[in-house]
Amino acid sequence: MSMIKPISNNDNKTLKNVIRNNLQALHEFCEENNLTYYLSDGTLLGAIRHQGMIPWDDDADVCMPRKDYNRLLELSGELPKPYKLGHFSLDPHYIYPFIKFMDSNTEIIEYFGEASYKAGVWVDIFPLDGTYKSIRVRKLHYALVRNLRFLFQLRVRSYRAPEDKTSTIKYWLKKIIKPLLYSIIKAIPKSLIFNQMDFIAKHVCTDKTSVVGNLYTSIGIKASHKKEWFEEKQLVDFDGYKFFSPKGYDGYLTNLYGDYMTPPPENERKQHNIQILK
For the segment 161-180, what is each residue's pLDDT rounded down to a tens digit?
Answer: 555 556 566 666 666 776 77
Higher pLDDT, 22 or 173: 22
The reported pLDDT for the residue numbered 171 is: 63
Characterise 158 by phi-psi region: left (phi > 0), alpha (psi -120 to 50), beta (else).
left
The reported pLDDT for the residue numbered 169 is: 67
- Residue among 81, 51, 88, 56 at smallest CA distance from 197: 88
The reported pLDDT for the residue numbered 8 is: 46
The answer to whether 239 and 60 have CB atoms below 8 angstroms apart is: no
Instruction: Look at the alpha carbons of 35, 54, 85, 216 in this order and tell me if their dihedral is positive or negative.
Output: negative
Task: Write down the pTM of the prediction.
Answer: 0.87
Higher pLDDT, 154 or 212: 212
State the average pLDDT for the chain. 88
Q: Residues 56-111: pLDDT tens digits?
A: 888 999 999 999 999 999 999 999 999 999 999 999 889 899 999 999 999 988 87
The reported pLDDT for the residue numbered 28 is: 98
Residues 42-67, mean pLDDT to the nearest whole number: 95
The answer to whether 207 and 173 have CB atoms below 8 angstroms apart is: no
The reported pLDDT for the residue numbered 275 is: 60
Q: Residues 103-139: pLDDT tens digits?
A: 999 998 887 656 678 889 999 999 999 999 999 999 9
Q: Residues 135-158: pLDDT tens digits?
A: 999 999 999 999 999 889 888 876
Q: DSSP for the chain, please give it.
A: -PPPPPPPHHHHHHHHHHHHHHHHHHHHHHHHTT---EE-HHHHHHHHHTSSS-TT----EEEEEHHHHHHHHHTGGGPPTTEEEE-TTT-TT---SSEEEEEEEEEEEEEETTEEEEEEEEEEEEEEEEE-SSHHHHHHHHHHHHHHHHHHHHHHH--------SSHHHHHHHHHHHHHHHHHHTTS-HHHHHHHHHHHHT-B-GGG-SEEE-TT-SSGGGGEEEGGGGSSEEEEEETTEEEEEETTHHHHHHHHHSSTTSPPPGGG-----EEE--
Sorting pLDDT into bands at 50, 70 and 90, what band is 6? very low
Sorting pLDDT into bands at 50, 70 and 90, what band is 2? very low
Report the percentage of the chain scoring pLDDT > 70. Answer: 84
Q: Residues 238-268: pLDDT tens digits?
A: 999 999 999 999 999 999 999 999 988 877 7
